[in-house]
Structure 1
Amino acid sequence: MTALLFEARLVNQTGAVEVQFARVIYGVDSPEEKEKTFRAICRSRYPQLRILEPISVSPATLQ
């Protein structure tokens, strides 16, 4: 199973960064599916904000 750390800055309507959000997502899904999941989490948690591209993706180690 692969674990990836996703990080994104979320901005308001004026473009000001309001939140830096990160999640480790692991499982058998492809990296693309994990990114879709991360984007969905961002949208559901902060519906009033949008993701400032690009999203940072890096390997994560689970202990």
Structure 2
Amino acid sequence: MQDFQPDETQPLLAGFKDWVSNPEVILSAILFWTGGQLFLTQKLCLALLVQDGACLSYSWSG
């Protein structure tokens, strides 16, 4: 399995659009911190949504 590439992160970006004014910057920082590692990138994105309370209305079905 290969790491996320920036062009593959659009689904993750969509999760931040309603919660932050600059989702591209947030996701870019996450990818920098995680090196694009798949599980860690997804886990950190989810942690930010949960911390902000966004998970209450986040669509888990896809």
Give TM-score scaled by structure 1 length: 0.46
TM-score, normalised by the number of residues in structure 2: 0.46
Question: Going by fraction, where is helix more abundant, 1 or 2?
Answer: 2
Larger Rg computed on CA atoms: 1
Structure with the larger strand share: 1
